[in-house]
Chain A
Amino acid sequence: MTLDRRSFLKFLGAGVGAAGAPMISRAADFMPKKGRRVVVVGGGYGGTIAAKYIRMMDASIEVVLIERNKQFISCPFSNYYIGGLISDLAPLTIGYDKLTANHGIKLVHAEVTGIDPAAKVVATANGNIAYDRLIVSPGVEFRTSEIEGYDDKTDQAIPHAWKAGEQTILLRKQLEAMKDGGTVIVSMPLVPYRCPPGPYERVSLIAHYLKQHKPKSKVFLLDANSDVVAKKPLFMKAWKEQYAGIMEYVPSKKVTKVDAATKTLFVEGLEDHKGDVVNFIPPQRAGAIAVKAGLVEAGGNWCPVNATTFESTLHKDIHVIGDSCLAGAMPKSGYSANSQAKVCATNVVALMNGKETVDLSGINVCYSAINDHESISVAGVYKVAEGKIIAVPNSGGISPVDFSQTRLEHLYAESWLKNILTEMSS
């Protein structure tokens, strides 16, 4: 996966003559670096927080945040929209104006096209940006090449809705347009993937919508895994008590082929499932730029990092946080990315100032709604032991299975969203 110097140059299309010539011409360097600089790639749950906390901890470090979109739309809570609990994506949408103004972060709206770890330069469509340290927080990329029949247009007929925005709206529209008595199929990949409880929350909220508005319909969850991988007793209870007859969980169904035209999913050449609305969530790996930059481990899909600094074990001075990285016991969640970003920021500042690094103390808190007034949660505290991120023994866990806290958790979940998005946007 690693791009060597030659292919990187080809990729950049930078004009370079004889060997030994500067790799990237000065003219292309559209933000000349004067002092110490950290570049952050990706303005989501991880990147915004890393940029902000570096500036809060050491305002003498210049921080450049590169993000292709003008707004960020949260994946957490996008199932609320799909299930009709909220009527638009506004509560999930944040801009970058306040964040950058409050903290003096330099924002570049551009697509990152390459990273040269040796020259310590990020290439964007606007030009090159040099860094002392780079933090990469690019989320996930779909491994669609592993799925027969999947092409550029597939997600227009069978949306993944696993990156929030147009895809989320498309899936909701399809559910609204479906006749009562229709079949909805949600297909989810093997672990690890972004947001372990997300698919289970999604089918719950789709079932909630169908129960109210299209009670003759049914939603199936085809899980590639052999069992529910997150909050199992809680989801099982919700499905049994609230969605019996309208929702069906089907384990060990790994989809290997799709036919968008007929909205059909094929399971390992053995059987096929046709739906009126099909939500196919493809298998995933580290974000495209992390793959391109050679930050992904050989034979794997994710980026190995140091458990204290989140520095890549493959490329010096490049740190990877959020869904893309291998963070031991921490799940691939928005809250994990937030927590990792702060650990990374703390230690990037320490390293740049020649100070001792501080071991990770991290948290994950993740709520899932099961209907319009009840939510369940998982929470964990993490630390480093023998170079690995582990869950602190005898802590963390899921909500009580008697559902005694579900209404309260639904209320707290709303404030979770408000707080975490406010942290990212101000």
Chain B
Amino acid sequence: MGKMRSRGVSCALLTSGLLLAAAGAQAGASTPAMLSNACAGCHGTHGESAGPSMPSLAGQSKAAIVTAMKEFKGIPKKDAEGKPVLDKDGKPVLETRTSTVMGRLAKGYTDAEIEAMGDFFAGQKHHSPAQAVDKAKVAKGAELQEKHCIRCHVEDGKEGKDNSPIMAGQWLKYLQVQMDLYTGGQRKMSEKMAEKVKPLSKEELDAVLHFYASVK
């Protein structure tokens, strides 16, 4: 991480701060940088993670970050007619994404703050971490992803359709942990994803993850 990079990033920080100010933030409101810098203790400076089980957020798509945060917080469940489902106390039932600390943290932010954080991290430059991947698995995974994943995890996972996350250059360990949560039933897949994942064996899924981790 040279000086060049830091300088580029501080420009990005300033710009996003100014944008928010220009948009007429109310007095005392936080800035995207103020909100997002607090995340760096776990996710790395500017969201560039140095810990294999912790996802890098730098350069992730805004839609994926915002979706993840809102799912951590809990999205009100709706019935077939689109009406919110209420529990016995009349409170809306929330559908939440399985997490450890993230659910507790996401509840501390408004939707507007989550959007601001999404902008901040999406605006950072992604650097793929140096990590070991299995070459044979990468080759096998490259073929499998073209057949099964490419519609949503576009261009070797370098882009995400709609709110699908960017997979390219993510930490392998993080991807494996999440895939285990998915296949173990602790994290819910979208119907589209479930359909694509179903025919793949554990080894094949792992090959796909090695492929994504290998993309620079």
Contacts and interface: CB of A to CB of B under 8 A. Distances in A.
Nearest to B29: A359
Category for how many chain B residues contact A: 35 or more
B145 interface: no
A415 B30 contact: no
A382 to B, nearest CB: 8
B42 A102 contact: no
A422 B177 contact: no
Which of A57, A335, A360 has its CB near the most chain B CB atoms (within 10 A)? Answer: A57
B108 interface: yes
A363 B38 contact: yes
Interface string B1-45: 111001101100110000000000000111101110111111111
A390 to B, nearest CB: 11
Interface in B79-116: 100-101, 104-109, 113
A365 B37 contact: no
B67 interface: no
Q: Which of B3, B40, B44, B109 has the most CB of A within 10 A?
A: B40
Contacts of A312: none
B49 interface: yes
A411 B53 contact: yes
Interface stretch (A9-17, A188-196, A336-344): A336-344
Contact of A394 (B7, B29, B37, B107): B107
Interface in A186-209: none
A229 interface: no
A408 B100 contact: yes
A365 B1 contact: no
Interface string A20-53: 0000000000000000000000000000000011
A426 B14 CA distance: 21
B9 A56 contact: yes
Nearest to B171: A415
Interface band, chain A: 35 or more
A396 B37 CA distance: 18
A423 B40 contact: yes
A53 B37 contact: yes
A321 B105 CA distance: 22
Interface in B171-196: 177
A107 interface: no
Nearest to A367: B101
A361 B25 CA distance: 15
A392 B107 CA distance: 9
Contacts of A420: 41-42
B52 A415 contact: yes
A342 B38 contact: yes
A418 B6 contact: no
Contacts of A381: 105, 107-109
A168 interface: no
A396 B107 contact: yes
A227 interface: no
A194 B107 CA distance: 26
A130 B124 CA distance: 35
B105 A405 contact: no
A422 B30 contact: no
A412 B51 CA distance: 8
Given A103-B6, A415-B50, 12 more contacts: A102-B2, A103-B3, A342-B37, A343-B34, A365-B105, A395-B107, A408-B100, A412-B53, A415-B54, A418-B50, A419-B43, A422-B51
13 contacts: A58-B10, A103-B3, A358-B34, A365-B42, A379-B104, A395-B108, A409-B101, A415-B51, A415-B53, A418-B50, A419-B41, A419-B44, A422-B50
Interface of A: 52-53, 55-59, 102-104, 335, 338-339, 342-343, 346, 358-363, 365, 377, 379-384, 391-392, 394-397, 399, 405, 408-409, 411-412, 414-420, 422-423, 426
